[in-house]
Amino acid sequence: MIEESASNSSKTAAGKVAIVGAGPGDPELVTLKARRLIESCDCLLHDHLIDSALLDWCAPECEVICVGKRAGRHCMDQSEISRLMVEKAMEGHDVVRLKGGEPGVFGRLGEELVALRDAGISFEVVPAVTSAFAAAASLGIPLTDRDCASGVALLTGHEQPAKTGSHGVDWRAWGAMDRTTLVIYMGVQHLEQITSDLVDGGRASDTPAAAVQWASTPMERSVVGTLGDLALKVNEAALGAPAVLVVGEVLGRV
């Protein structure tokens, strides 16, 4: 009876959650730790933009649930994802929350950590290669360079570009940062306005700029130009999301 009671107690003990970065797309860029956790978890909640090869690493008995979105169509909103993650852990499952890219870069990591902390769930975060690094690697450039770029900024282009100051990215202000490489996530939809505002802010129209779609995957495509013509070239190439934009003199190394 004592052994049975202990067994029942272990079944109801809360599991752990690992928030794991899946990287930019190439399964070979996933960390060894990420693979170990995927192989051993009881439940895996994954974004849509995940290479299916990663899901093949799951054990046959693992419950696999897609919680991501595609082209603006959500399987679940963020609050539901957080609720499900906590619920599965409270049921005693070890959960992997598999997120595209690097969880801490425009991945809503903070919201999921708040939910786990509030519920008292043990967790760990497993970092990954972010698409900024994959895009730079595919272009064959550094993001910083002692001759022309003393810093790099990771920015979101998802907000309405007309927003400024405390309400969004002030692109004109970033246009004044002429020794900083800008890497813009989710910016293709507003590319024309973003590049125009950067020029209005002081960045030269002939500043090298590039867009890389599906970096690190077999579907990878890229367009290289300048702030003055990148929007036109991207439109002509019909290059869309998911894509990363890179702006800066480091692209002169291409």
From the candidates 42, 47, 51, 94, which is the catalytic residue? 47
CB 9 within 8 A of CB 28: no
Helix axes 78-90, 109-119, angle to 10 degrees: 40
- As separate numbers, helices (DSSP H) first and strands (DSSP E) second, the chain gives 9, 12
* C-beta atoms surrounding 4 within 10 Å: 8
186 is catalytic: yes
| HEC sequence for 31-93 | CHHHHHHHHHCCEEEECCCCCHHHHCCCCCCCEEEECCEECCEECCCHHHHHHHHHHHHHCCC
CB 44 within 8 A of CB 38: yes
47 is catalytic: yes
Identify the three-state secondary structure at position 231: helix
> Does an H or E element contain 109, and which?
helix 109-119
From the candidates 69, 76, 90, 229, which is the catalytic residue? 69
11 is catalytic: no
DSSP 128: -
From the candidates 26, 145, 170, 186, which is the catalytic residue? 186
Rounded Cα gap, residues 124 and 41, in angstroms: 13
Closest CA to 46 of 32, 31, 62: 62
Rounded Cα gap, residues 235 and 219, in angstroms: 17
Q: Which residues are catalytic?
A: 47, 69, 186
